[in-house]
């Protein structure tokens, strides 16, 4: 396949998948949609990268995605896994940064700390 064919076919598949995903989300109750915020964000990120920014990626990787019935779902799930793996280290870094460079806490911890019953 040529570069243009890869991009065109992938865009069509991803746009169709996005439309179906969007319609499915709009049918859900508001609480359910709110609970899916991270998934929706991942889907939107993947949609934008695969449709609007596809030229930034090697053709062989994009062509590989064409093997999936739903390349948006496949990439979304992988993206979520990648983000979750990096989250703990990033969060730990944020905690350290808050302690070292953030605002001073409003209160001092009580002597003896908290106890669990």
Instruction: Give domain status of residue 96, yes or no.
Output: no
Helix (H, G, I), strand (E, B) or coil at 105: coil
Contact 9, 59 (CB under 8 A): no
Instruction: Give domain status of residue 75, yes or no.
Output: yes
Instruction: Give domain status of residue 48, yes or no.
Output: yes
Q: How far is CA 111 from the centre of its chain?
A: 41
- List the helix and strand counts (H, then E) for the chain: 5, 0
Instruction: Supply the pLDDT for residue 88.
Output: 81
Tally the C-alpha atoms within 13 A of residue 6's C-alpha that lie toward its C-beta: 16
- The pTM of this model reads 0.77
- Domain containing 51 equals 3-90
User: How many folded domains does the chain comprise?
Assistant: 1
Instruction: Supply the pLDDT for residue 44.
Output: 98
Instruction: Give domain status of residue 36, yes or no.
Output: yes
Instruction: Supply the pLDDT for residue 112.
Output: 60
Candidates 12, 25, 26; CA nearest to 71 is 12
Instruction: Give domain status of residue 107, yes or no.
Output: no
Instruction: Give domain status of residue 103, yes or no.
Output: no
Instruction: Give domain status of residue 33, yes or no.
Output: yes
Give the integer Cα–Cα distance in Å for 43 and 18. Answer: 8
Instruction: Supply the pLDDT for residue 7.
Output: 97
As a residue count, the chain comes to 117
Give the integer Cα–Cα distance in Å for 41 and 50. Answer: 14
Instruction: Supply the pLDDT for residue 84.
Output: 85
Q: Name the stretches of the chain with pLDDT < 70.
A: 110-117
Instruction: Supply the pLDDT for residue 15.
Output: 98
Instruction: Supply the pLDDT for residue 114.
Output: 60
Instruction: Supply the pLDDT for residue 110.
Output: 67
Instruction: Give domain status of residue 115, yes or no.
Output: no
């Amino acid at each position: 396949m040529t570069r243009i064919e890869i991009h065109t076919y992938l865009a069509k598949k991803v746009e169709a998948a996005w439309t179906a995903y969007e319609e499915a989300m709009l049918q859900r109750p508001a609480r359910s949609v709110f609970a899916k915020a991270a998934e929706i964000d991942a889907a939107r990120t993947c949609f934008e990268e695969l449709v609007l920014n596809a030229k930034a990626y090697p053709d062989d990787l994009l062509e590989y995605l064409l093997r999936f019935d739903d390349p948006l779902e496949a990439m979304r799930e992988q993206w979520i896994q990648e983000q979750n793996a990096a989250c703990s280290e990033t969060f730990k870094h944020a905690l350290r940064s808050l302690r070292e460079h953030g605002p001073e806490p409003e209160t001092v911890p009580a002597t003896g700390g908290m106890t669990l019953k």
